[in-house]
Every structure is written in structure tokens, then in C-alpha cells.
Amino acid sequence: MVYTWEEIVRIEGSISKAYKSVENRKYKKVSHGVYVDDSELISELEQLFVRYPRATLTLQSAFDYYELSDYIPDKYHLVTPYNSHTIKNNKVSQSYMSEEMIEIGRQKIDTKYGYIFIFDKERMLIELFRLRTKLPKEYFLEVVSSYRILKSMEVISLRRISEYCMKMTSGHRLLKEIQEMI
């Protein structure tokens, strides 16, 4: 299991007991402010979400997670609310968005050691079209092709896509583009 320092203090009952637990290797430090209670290490992605719980996995990282593309990103693409601190990590590409926009289609996924936040597949389709000019054309078309397969298998909800689009500025335009291509 993954813990922050504050969680260890709360579990142990005091700061001094928390320090003793870390010294006695009950908890192992894996990065700044991130600890585990077993010998296995957690992934970098899970460490990021322990340190930055308001972040959400998006763009190429989310498409890779959902296996909608063969491209493996060299950075984790995270979106955080406007008032968030800058993530100072060379392996992270951070963008900002309003909290209301982030909550649309955001889901929590439990992993072996903790959790990650990611936009659902429907929201990621909207993000694909919303940010299409920032992506290589071949990449865009590859992901669109994957979504066509998902649609034919009825894995994605067109109703949910429509609901999400109506909550966004330019949502009518996005919905029309999505319906034309998917």
C-alpha cells in the first residue's frame, strides 16, 4: 500500500512514532513524501498520484493506458486545476484546466498499490477532438480508428459523449465533428 507522510503520522499516532516506523523499515521511502509498507516498489505513475492527488492522466498517456494507440509517450501527460502548483518532474507534461472541466469524465482507478485518476474513454474522445491541432495527424487518425472499433463493439457511450459535450464551450461543434468521424 502507498502512503503519504501525513497518513503514516495519522496511522502511527504521532510524528515520533512515524519516524521510528520509517527507521525500523516498516515503511520504505520511495520518493519525496511517498512511502510503501511492503518490499515491492510502486510505479512512477502511482507515485505521481500520491504526490499530486488533484492531477488527472490525459492525452497520449491516457490513450496508451487504454491501449488506443501503439505510441508509448516519453512523458506522463497530466492535467491539474489552474490553482495547482507546478509539477517539477522531467517526466511530466503538465497542463491546466478549470476544476469543473476536470471533473467531467474523471474516474479513479485502483491499482495494485494505490490509485490513479484518468478521464474515461468518452471524455478522452472529446479531448482528442478538442486538442487535435496539437497532435500529429497520423496519431490523431490512429486513435480515431481505435474509437471506431470501440463504437462498433458498443464499448463507448454516445449518450455520455453528448452529455459531456453539452457541459463544454464549443460542445456542439465538438459533438458534430465526433459524430461525423466516428
d(CA 164, CA 168): 7
pLDDT tens track for 47-85: 899 889 999 999 999 999 999 999 999 999 999 999 999
Q: Can you give the pTM of this predicted structure?
A: 0.85
Whole-Å CA distances, 139 to 119, 122, 134: 19, 18, 11
Q: How confident is the model at residue 41 (pLDDT cuts 50, 70, 90)?
A: low
Task: Please report which residue ranges of 24-170 form alpha helices under DSSP H.
Answer: 44-51, 59-65, 99-103, 121-130, 137-152, 158-166
pLDDT tens track for 116-147: 999 999 999 999 999 999 999 999 999 999 99
Structure-block grid coordinates of residue 16: 515520533
Instruction: State residue 31's pLDDT score.
Output: 81
Asked whether the CA dihedral 171, 133, 54, 21 is positive or negative, the reply is: positive
Contact predicate 33/2, CB 8 Å:
no
